[in-house]
Chains A and B, each alone.
Chain A
Amino acid sequence: MQLMPRSKSQLAGVLLLFAASALAQSPGKKSPSVTLAPIDPVSVTRGKGAEVSLHFRVAAGFHINSNTPKSEFLIPTALKMDAPTDVALTKTSYPAGKDMTFPFAPDEPLNVYTGDFTISMMVRPLHTVQPGKYAVHGDLKYQACDNAACYPPKHLPVEFEVKVLKNATPAGRNPAQSPHAHR
């Protein structure tokens, strides 16, 4: 008899899972989504820079405009971040979109992101910033469509942590091994 409550909770879990599954499989009920993979905290020495890569995924069956769509009327995918004071975010780099045609515009390719795409940026704490952890917040604005319809623009929250380290020059480092040495 002690199994019963456990069985009920398992049963409820199964029911919830299948309810979610049934909703997700219905095209009419499935809303377009872009998700962001978890971001590891970024450790960076003050005065130096570190690259942060944000990995996004567009749900199957949908596409979103690239950062540089072909028409002025289309809404570009854009990342907007608010950096803490003295921690600069620079060089936001968007991937090139793919030129794709869709049933609603067979002669007019659109420049879009589908599936996985990555946006990167440089985090550069100033020399004067106090070592410690800093939260960076922002959002990704995107506007999705499928093969026959479009959905209003959405904002996906983006958040990661920057750990600012004190030491500017780690002891014993060979400058020849620097990734910048050959640039």
Chain B
Amino acid sequence: MKRNPAALFFVAAVVAAMLFVGFHSARRAGSGNSDSLDVTGKPAPDFTLDSLDGKKIQLSSYKGQAVLLNFWATWCGPCKIEMPWFVDLQKEYGPQGLQIVGVAMDDASKDEIAKFVKEMGVNYTILLGKEAVGQEYGGVNVLPTTFFIDRDGKIVAREFGLQSRSLFVDNIKKSLSQGRAVQAQK
């Protein structure tokens, strides 16, 4: 059977390109990455969600503060690891203008979520999530997913899956130090 050298070369080139792309996307992916749209560098989509104590909370009401927006669920083991960190980070960076907001992407009832939050000793705002809000953030297909929003409401970083505490600290510092509100204070 006669083989077409050009076709073979083309196949080899395509395979090599795919392996290259696959390797680099795997490296970039890190742990627990998602195929969601990258919204980093863009304004954080505004939303209004109910808090556990029944208040309507609008994200844009935090403008002027840095926000760590964490999508989580009661059934998510890695999310449980982060929550004590967030408790500490809220205490440490709250006075500098950080507000941590947890959005529960859960089918569990409000009471069950409240029970879980109480057990974890959470001291930051917890909102009852909706799928549509996740979609606004590019589709939250992996939990935890965390967005870091600067004082102007711009997303400066996002992390998928469980990451190191130090990475959170770095991103918090970045979100606290960026934005026109910071420039005006200087």
- Assess whether B29 is in contact with A26, with CB atoms less than 8 Å apart: yes
Chain B residues closer than 8 Å to A74, beta-carbon distance: 75, 77
- Chain A contact residue count (CB 8 A cutoff): 34
- Tell which of A23, A25, A73, A150 touches B78, judged by Cβ atoms closer than 8 Å: A150
Asked whether any CB of chain A lies closer than 8 Å to the CB of B11, the reply is yes
Instruction: Assess A11 versus B10: contact at CB under 8 Å? Given A146-B32, A149-B31.
Output: yes
Asked whether any CB of chain B lies closer than 8 Å to the CB of A148, the reply is yes
Chain B residues closer than 8 Å to A110, beta-carbon distance: 77
Q: Please tell me the size bucket of the interface on B.
A: 35 or more
- Assess whether B77 is in contact with A11, with CB atoms less than 8 Å apart: no
Contact string against B for A residues 1-41, beta-carbon threshold 8 Å, 1 for contact and 0 otherwise: 00100010001001100110111011111010000000000
Asked whether any CB of chain A lies closer than 8 Å to the CB of B33, the reply is yes
Chain B residues closer than 8 Å to A151, beta-carbon distance: 141-143
- Tell which of A21, A25, A150 touches B75, judged by Cβ atoms closer than 8 Å: A150
- The residues in B between 61 and 87 inclusive whose CB is less than 8 angstroms from any CB of A are 73-81
Most buried by A among B10, B22, B28, B79: B22
- Assess whether A25 is in contact with B26, with CB atoms less than 8 Å apart: yes
Identify 23 residue pairs between A and B in the complex whose beta-carbon atoms are under 8 Å apart, listed by A's number. A3-B1, A15-B14, A18-B14, A18-B18, A22-B18, A22-B22, A26-B25, A28-B33, A28-B35, A31-B141, A74-B75, A102-B77, A103-B162, A104-B78, A104-B162, A105-B81, A147-B31, A148-B32, A149-B76, A150-B78, A151-B141, A151-B142, A152-B73
Q: B residues bordering A, Cβ < 8 Å?
A: 1-2, 4, 7, 10-11, 14-15, 18-19, 21-22, 25-26, 28-35, 73-81, 105, 107-108, 112, 116, 141-144, 160-162
- Other than the known A26-B25, A147-B31, what 11 A-B pairs have Cβ atoms closer than 8 Å? A3-B1, A26-B22, A26-B26, A28-B34, A103-B162, A105-B81, A145-B76, A145-B77, A149-B32, A150-B77, A152-B73
